[in-house]
Structure formats: structure tokens, C-alpha cells
Structure 1
């Protein structure tokens, strides 16, 4: 009930502050398990996802410091978000994330880590590749753009136009059972290029050169079998460095 009330309030506020093109979100399956991979622009990312993908059961990984803010702590607690220590191998958080997927829910991950604010992609962190390998569930690229203009528009009393785009779902298949750091980064870059392909050229940032995009580690779902595919319970273990 509380989650529904929060949903109504945030949707009401977003209606007055933003004009959202959410047509693409209809392609998101109603049930998991699935990892939703997105770009991280600013504080609006999580409310947008939680609101316009409702009532899908989505849990996101959120930096631990976010919970120091009482308002954000309340919201992310209602949404069931998982606090994670950035810059370290937080296996406790990864274990909780694995349980979310095992329960058939959606896990939202922003591989860039920090907010970019300007809407341009920065280099992704390999945690998303580790989770993808260990969980063996499909990843669905979801990007949005337009929120980088939110603060300026608010000052001018203008609504912000926000657009969502959805890519093809895929699995991540490593070349060996325990890939090292370099290979994990290669997998992450392949995932990030799938996000870049969906964005306007001006928002691609670190991944602007699409000619460098490869898919050696990605297995795409050409027959739409990933939406409710079989799940292999992940066992999160420490990776080689």
C-alpha cells in the first residue's frame, strides 16, 4: 500500500515537471528474472524507473551514501533498494542482488556508478559483468535522455522532455569460467555500447565511437525466449584481480 501511495505522489509530481515519452517501456516484460541496465544521469533516474515501470517488481543497487539523506532513505527503502559500497567488492550486496533475481524480480544496475549530470556516458564498471555471469539471466538495455536539462528547465518553469529507449535483451557468455579483470572490463564495454547505440550521438560520451562496439561475449535473444527464461541460482564468489 505504501509503495502504491509513493508511486501516485511521484507520478503526480513528474506529470507537472516532465513530459515523458515512455512508449518504449511497453516492451519491458512484466516478470523477471532480468537485469535492467541503464545510464545514470541524475537523481531522477530511480524515480522515473520506479514510476513508469510500475507495477513490475524492480530493485536497484544504490550507493550506500544515498541512505544518509532521510528523504532518499525513505524512498529507496520503500522501493527495496540495496545499498552498495562503491569502489569495493561488496559481496554482501551482490548476494542480496542475486537473491532478487532468484526470486524472479528485476534488478536495475547503473554500470557507470556516479551520476554524469551532463547525460554523456562514462566508462562502465565491471560489477555488471560479474552479476550477469553469475546469475545467468538476460540483460535488457534501457536508456533515457533529457533529464540532463532538468535543473535548467525548473529554473525557467519549463517541463523537461524525457525519452526512453529499449534495446535487445542478451545474455553475457564469458570465454572461460573465471574471467580476469581485463576480460570483465571487455564484457562491460560491450554492454555499455549496447546503451550507447540507443542514445543520441551527443549523449554517447566515452562510447561515442560505435565502430569499436563488439559483441563477442553477448548472446542475443532473437526468438524472444528471455522474458521468463530458466534461472540458475547464482553463487557470488570473489573474482581474480
Structure 2
């Protein structure tokens, strides 16, 4: 058993009970092949909540600062996370993300790049669109809704794969692709509040 599977087995029942987690749309999640999972970002608990609800292991792009914290660094590396330097064009992170998708794994991204202070969906960064256009990975939008107060419900909604074929064919910009992804995340938020 991998460390990821072991951690999920231990943490999953605790988080699901603590936040009364409700999951919808798992039937939309591809069983195999590269998947770009794009979610809104409202709390530091978002990655663990996605980790315990997603049917497949997720490799998260995480802010580089987390890899400077001694014990945490070792744990998140074992949970498939890899560093990204925020606020610039981090070529190494882009290469790693493409590799994850081309190997048929799940890459987890928060396109806003940081947590929303208001709970409203912010503007998405071009990185999500870059990965969507540069690979044939299926793009799954996701919405997390809730306050993360103990014993108050948190909902995780996985949407249907977004058809990126038209944007890939017309060689759209990463910004255009990200905007389409953000529209789908907003739609999930609107439909499930």
C-alpha cells in the first residue's frame, strides 16, 4: 500500500465525519487517463478534502514555501505534491504538471492561485488553460461549498468533463481556456449553493 493510500484510509473517515462531507458527480470522474482537476479554493482544507473524495490519487501543485517546512515537506512530497513558485512563470512546475498528465495521472489545481478571501470565485490564472491545451487530459471542474466549521456540511461537486477540443483546434490562448474552466466551476457553485 502506498503512503497516499494509507493516509487516505486513516484521514478519510475523520474528515468526512468532521465536515459532514457530501460528494456529488463522482460518476463524471474518468476511471483512467490524464485528468486535470480544477477547483475553487476557499480554505487550507481544500486539498485534503479533494484527496479523500476523489476516486483517484491527486498530484497537487503546492506553493513552494510549504516545501521549506521540515516535517510538512516530507509528508506532502509523499502525497504526490510538487512545488510551484507563485507570481511567475515556473518552468519546472509546468514540466512536472505536464509529465503527471501525460503519464495518465490526476493533476489537481486551484486556478485562482490562492484562497478566496470572500468565498466568491476569483479570476483564474493561465496555468490551468496551459495544461488543458497542451495535453489531451480530461478537464474536470469541481466546486467546494461550505464554511469548514466543525459538523457543518461541506459539499464537493465534480462536474462533467469540459470539452476542450474546439479550443485546442483553434489554438486558443491559455487565458481563454482558463476562462472556460472558471465558467464551469462558477456554474457548479451556482447550481449547488
Pairwise TM-score range, normalised by the shorter structure: 0.7 to 0.9
1:235 aligned partner: none
Structure-to-structure mapping, 1:1-150, within 5 angstroms: 1=1, 2-54=3-55, 56-146=56-146, 149-150=147-148
Partner Cα distance (1:116, 1:19) in 2: 22
* 1:94 positional shift: 0.9
Identify if the C-alpha distance between structure 1 residues 122 and 23 changes in structure 2 by more than 3 Å, giving closer, same or farther: closer
Which structure's relative contact order is higher, taking Cα pairs within 8 Å and 6+ residues apart?
Answer: 2
Conservation of the 8 A alpha-carbon contact between 1:25 and 1:164: no
Report the secondary structure of 2:154's partner residue: strand
Conservation of the 8 A alpha-carbon contact between 1:25 and 1:166: yes
Partner Cα distance (1:79, 1:163) in 2: 23
1:188 aligned partner: 178
- TM-score, scaled relative to structure 2: 0.87
Identify if the C-alpha distance between structure 1 residues 12 and 74 changes in structure 2 by more than 3 Å, giving closer, same or farther: farther
Count, aligned residues: 190
2:153 aligned partner: 161
Whichever of the two has the greater Rg, that structure is 1
Q: What root-mean-square deviation, in Å, do the aligned CA atoms of Structure 1 and Structure 2 show?
A: 2.2
Identify if the C-alpha distance between structure 1 residues 70 and 117 changes in structure 2 by more than 3 Å, giving closer, same or farther: farther
Partner Cα distance (2:16, 2:97) in 1: 31
Report the secondary structure of 1:197's partner residue: helix
* 1:90 positional shift: 1.0
Report the secondary structure of 2:153's partner residue: strand
* 1:9 positional shift: 2.4
Conservation of the 8 A alpha-carbon contact between 2:128 and 2:174: no
Partner Cα distance (1:202, 1:7) in 2: 26
* 1:69 positional shift: 3.2
Deviations 1:162-192 (A, max 9, x none): 1122222124325754x5xxx4323322210
Conservation of the 8 A alpha-carbon contact between 1:132 and 1:171: no
Partner Cα distance (2:190, 2:74) in 1: 34
- TM-score, scaled relative to structure 1: 0.71
Conservation of the 8 A alpha-carbon contact between 1:7 and 1:50: yes
1:218 aligned partner: none
Deviations 1:179-224 (A, max 9, x none): 5xxx432332221011000103898xxxxxxxxxxxxxxxxxxxxx
Instruction: Provide structure 2 residue ranges, at least 5 long, that are not aligned to the other structure.
Output: none
- Could you tell which deviates more after superposition, 6-15 or 118-127? 6-15
